[in-house]
């Protein structure tokens, strides 16, 4: 039976999606649907464990650019190892569909937690932010930009530890800069220079990191919507409401970190994760 097949119960006649064998895995349930892929929780029969299997959408199986980006994601993530980055276990193809098998992180993504709870209290968000900054720092050390940092790409395990996933838009920097031919990132978190087509560097990821913290701490995105024209979105990013105006009970320290991270001009942002990690650690211990 091909994967994702709807079958009809012979007793009650109800249509249901069957668990399907897909390569060396049995797909148990769909976990997420992205722009170009589906993520399933699956049973790995070889090693007798649950894994996450990301499968390229059938619509893009013949799209050379998407196929290249999908393969690149696996290569980038497998090129370094860090506790705060989701591990790639293997890649392959089944039923003509490319897939990436990754470690299963059981707590769901940060976006789900924000939606369910409204926002994440500062005391809970600080260790998550430190984890994310450490994972991004590890990627940066290999000369990679993530380029799609957002709550949906931050997974939490059962202990609340954060792991970054989805390096599908990642670029290797040259002389500290990266050049992208297309913008696929999420408007709420993407940096102004990315929208304008200017060269990106570590400060572009730091902007998205800051915008993610802003969303988590307030329950509100910094600005814009998915249909806003690029020029209007850039202008909106000049006029982001200060964090303190929305959440007056936040500490001065976290407000300073977030607002420096999302400064409109890259020159006014942090230039490394080391300083961010240090400052967040001090705030957490205060």
pLDDT in tens, 263-284: 999 999 999 999 999 999 999 9
pTM: 0.86
Highest mean pLDDT among 136-140, 182-186, 227-231, 254-258: 254-258
Q: What is the pLDDT of residues 45-59, one digit of tens each?
A: 888 999 999 999 988
Mean pLDDT of 140-159: 92
**What percentage of the chain exceeds 90 in pLDDT?**
60
What is the reported pLDDT for 10? 45
Structural domains of the chain, with CATH: 13-103 (3.30.200.20), 110-285 (1.10.510.10)
The reply to whether 148 belongs to the active site is yes
Count, residues in the chain: 286
Q: Which residue has the higher pLDDT, 198 or 50?
A: 50
251: which residues sit within 8 A by CB, 6+ positions away? 122, 283, 286
pLDDT above 70: residue 166: yes
pLDDT at 1: 47
The mean pLDDT value of the chain amounts to 87
Segment 93-108 shows an average pLDDT of 93
Q: What is the dihedral of CA 60, 105, 222, 72, to 10 degrees?
A: -40
Residue spans of beta strands (DSSP E) within the chain: 6-8, 15-17, 20-22, 25-33, 37-44, 49-56, 88-94, 97-103, 144-145, 154-156, 162-164, 171-172
Catalytic entry in 48, 63, 131, 148: 148
Inform me whether the pLDDT recorded for 237 exceeds 90: yes
Label residue 33 by pLDDT band (50, 70, 90).
confident
User: Could you give the CA distance from residue 284 to residue 146 in angstroms, rounded to a whole number?
Assistant: 25
Residue 70 confidence (pLDDT) above 90 = no
For residues 157 and 269, what is the distance between their CA atoms, to the nearest angstrom? 30
More confident residue, 179 or 261: 261
């Amino acid at each position: 039976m091909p994967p994702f097949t709807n079958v009809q119960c012979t007793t009650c006649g109800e249509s249901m999606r069957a668990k399907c064998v897909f390569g060396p895995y049995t797909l148990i349930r769909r976990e997420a649907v992205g722009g170009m892929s589906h993520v399933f929780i699956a049973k790995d029969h070889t090693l007798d464990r649950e894994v996450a299997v990301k499968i390229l959408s059938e619509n893009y199986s013949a799209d050379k650019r998407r196929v290249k980006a999908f393969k690149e994601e696996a290569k980038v993530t497998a090129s370094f190892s860090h506790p705060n980055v989701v591990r790639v276990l293997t890649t392959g193809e089944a039923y003509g569909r490319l897939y990436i098998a990754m470690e299963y992180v059981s707590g769901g993504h940060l976006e789900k937690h924000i939606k369910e709870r409204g926002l994440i209290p500062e005391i809970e968000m600080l260790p998550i932010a430190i984890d994310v900054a450490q994972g991004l720092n590890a990627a940066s050390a290999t000369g990679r930009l993530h380029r799609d940092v957002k709550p949906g790409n931050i997974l939490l395990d059962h202990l609340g530890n954060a792991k970054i996933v989805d390096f599908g838009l990642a670029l290797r920097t040259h002389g500290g800069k990266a050049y992208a031919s297309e913008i696929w990132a999420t408007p709420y978190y993407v940096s102004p220079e990315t929208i304008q087509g200017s060269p990106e560097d570590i400060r572009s990821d730091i902007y998205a990191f800051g915008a993610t913290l802003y969303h988590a701490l307030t329950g509100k995105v910094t600005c814009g919507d998915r249909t806003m024209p690029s020029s209007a979105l850039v202008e909106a990013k000049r006029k982001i409401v200060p964090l303190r105006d929305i959440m007056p009970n936040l500490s001065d320290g976290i407000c300073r970190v977030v607002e420096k991270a999302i400064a409109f001009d890259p020159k006014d942002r942090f230039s490394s994760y080391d300083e961010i990690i240090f400052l967040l650690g001090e705030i957490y211990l205060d």
